[in-house]
């Protein structure tokens, strides 16, 4: 499972300089090599030294780009953390938070977006078999929920840390966690992405629908 959708550069963005381009290539090389090793021999069994040797770089180079080994496996975590708050920022005027997040999830599921939990069986198995990665994934869900709480507070003019946006974020975050876990379960059961998308899209309607009595009109844009 990777935790970020592929992003494209803005048309107005200037191309990176040679030094920056080289750094990006090195980072991607290390990430690709690490992923291959994790999938072939397991996350817990793979060391930073193994990755450095396979990528033909120094161990310090690996840790400069990826301070923790988990970062090598979940190397798109920043986009994952920001995804729900980003949905609120990009919604149409007047759209409540619940409707925006439900629509965004359905769109992500139909596209088999990695941020929603689509990762392929090998990666899903690697996560499931690693206590370290499973714990880190829970942390990322917590961080995503916290970012959503801040976004809801800002959208409603409520102080950050207030119980109302935090509670709303917890409820919305719980639905996303449940559907994410469901995608992982179906992936490990051998279902293909088309089947998984169909199942979780239908289940999302039920899951988000449970929140309508309390959140249907909450935090409109």
Give the structural domain span for 137.
77-215
The tens digit of pLDDT for each residue in 144-158 reads 999 999 999 999 999
**For range 25-43, the mean pLDDT:** 94
Asked if 70 and 136 touch (Cβ cutoff 8 Å), the reply is: yes
Mean pLDDT for the chain overall: 91
Do 92 and 144 share a domain, yes or no?
Answer: yes
Do 157 and 67 share a domain, yes or no?
Answer: no
pLDDT recorded at residue 130: 95
Q: Which residues have CB under 8 Å from 47's CB, separation 6+?
A: none
pLDDT recorded at residue 76: 81
The tens digit of pLDDT for each residue in 111-151 reads 999 999 999 999 999 999 999 999 999 999 999 999 999 99
pLDDT recorded at residue 182: 97
Do 128 and 156 share a domain, yes or no?
Answer: yes
Do 67 and 98 share a domain, yes or no?
Answer: no
The tens digit of pLDDT for each residue in 179-196 reads 999 999 999 999 999 999
pLDDT of 96 > 80? The answer is: yes
Burial annotation 48-68 (CB, 10 A radius, 16+ → b, else e) = bebbbeebebeeebbbebbee
Total count of domains within the chain: 2
Asked if 187 and 112 touch (Cβ cutoff 8 Å), the reply is: no
Asked if 101 and 172 touch (Cβ cutoff 8 Å), the reply is: yes
Do 150 and 56 share a domain, yes or no?
Answer: no
The answer to the question of residue 147 being in a domain is yes
- State the CATH number of the domain containing residue 168: 1.10.357
**Angle of CA points 197, 145, 192, to nearest 5°:** 15
What is the Cα–Cα distance from 34 to 49, expressed in whole angstroms? 11
Do 109 and 182 share a domain, yes or no?
Answer: yes
The tens digit of pLDDT for each residue in 2-33 reads 443 333 344 445 566 888 889 999 999 999 99
């Amino acid at each position: 499972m990777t935790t970020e959708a592929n992003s494209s550069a803005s048309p107005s963005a200037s191309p990176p300089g040679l030094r920056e381009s080289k750094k990006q290539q090195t980072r991607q090389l290390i990430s690709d090599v690490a992923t291959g090793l994790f999938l072939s021999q397991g996350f817990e069994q793979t060391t930073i030294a193994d990755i450095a040797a396979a990528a033909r770089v120094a161990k310090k180079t690996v840790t400069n780009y990826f301070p923790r080994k988990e970062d090598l496996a979940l190397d798109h975590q920043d986009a994952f953390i920001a995804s729900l708050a980003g949905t609120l920022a990009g919604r149409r005027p007047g759209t409540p938070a619940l409707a925006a997040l439900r629509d965004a999830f359905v769109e992500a599921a139909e596209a088999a977006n990695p941020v929603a939990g689509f990762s392929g069986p090998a990666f899903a198995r690697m996560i499931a078999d690693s206590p370290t990665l499973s714990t880190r994934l829970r942390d990322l869900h917590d961080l995503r929920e916290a970012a959503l709480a801040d976004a809801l507070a800002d959208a409603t003019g409520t102080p950050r840390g207030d119980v109302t946006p935090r509670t709303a974020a917890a409820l919305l975050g719980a639905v996303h966690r449940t559907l994410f876990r469901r995608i992982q379960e179906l992936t490990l059961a051998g279902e293909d992405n088309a089947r998984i998308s169909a199942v979780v899209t239908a289940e999302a309607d039920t899951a988000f629908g449970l929140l309508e009595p309390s959140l249907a009109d909450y935090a409109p844009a």
